[in-house]
Chain A
């Protein structure tokens, strides 16, 4: 048991209060979970809050988790997505200028290529941030994190056709913004 243990085996240990197994799960999935949350909420502080809330829910709900119902990753990323959308809704209307500035690329000394790359990153970030929440989640899961459409649909709890509709609308909006 340890690094090679499956998520399901680790969750069975977490359900009995095994802190070591929980730590392994967090370390294993933190990178992707953080990337999804960061894309959806748009700034580091809120992404960290969302990820912390989601992983805390994993710990608290572990004894109730049923392995046969869904893959652990599907369940985890669904919690991440839900928590991130809740964070957006909670913060809607608040102008978090500091957080936005923090995400801007540093345009200090650097080559022209670095500056151009930073500007391109900011353009893409702003375009994705301007999408409605569900479209942003769909784009994040399918294009940034490269889940298949059925996987992304399962995580979002929607039909594949509904997900494809979200992606079509998102691509249209992104093209309009970026091109």
Chain B
């Protein structure tokens, strides 16, 4: 990666620019960079992080327990609603959600 295009090498402006050399880095800069970087944790690829997270989620029952309980409750609710909408109440059959709501409403109306 060291050979520039030859199209402008005869240009006095570019020769003038190339005559200027930048100051070298401080003698201890490499040491400082290495010391600073090694204090940072390395970031694993997304696939590995995802795999580790899934492994932990399913492998350790107490990990993210609140989230798991919420997820389960959500699935149950979705299941009930989808089941209700898909089937529709048969004649003479009480819908469990309506039954629950009706029971609650009836209980709340009691003096």
CB < 8 Å neighbour of B29 from A35, A48, A58, A147 = A48
Q: A-facing mask of B6-37, CB < 8 A → 1, else 0?
A: 00100101101110101111100110111011
* A56–B33 CA distance with the chains assembled, in angstroms: 7
Surface stretch bound by A, among B40-48, B52-60, B67-75, B78-86 = B40-48
Contact partners of B42 in chain A: CB under 8 A: 15, 17, 59-63
Quick check: is A80 within 8 A (CB to CB) of the other chain? no
Tell me whether A63 and B1 are in contact (CB under 8 A).
Answer: no
Contact partners of B34 in chain A: CB under 8 A: 19, 22-23, 26
Tell me whether B22 and A39 are in contact (CB under 8 A).
Answer: yes
Contact partners of B17 in chain A: CB under 8 A: 124, 128, 139, 143-144, 174
Known: A23-B34, A51-B29, A55-B33. A124 touches B16 (CB 8 A): yes
Chain B residue nearest to A125 in the complex (CB): B20
Contact partners of A62 in chain B: CB under 8 A: 42
How many residues on the B side are at the interface (Cβ–Cβ under 8 A)?
A: 34
Quick check: is A121 within 8 A (CB to CB) of the other chain? yes
Tell me whether A63 and B44 are in contact (CB under 8 A).
Answer: yes
Tell me whether B45 and A23 are in contact (CB under 8 A).
Answer: no
* A146–B30 CA distance with the chains assembled, in angstroms: 23
* A175–B16 CA distance with the chains assembled, in angstroms: 11
Tell me whether B13 and A147 are in contact (CB under 8 A).
Answer: no
Closest 10 pairs between A and B when the two form their complex, measured CB to CB: A59-B37, A146-B4, A34-B25, A56-B37, A64-B45, A35-B22, A55-B33, A38-B22, A143-B17, A124-B20
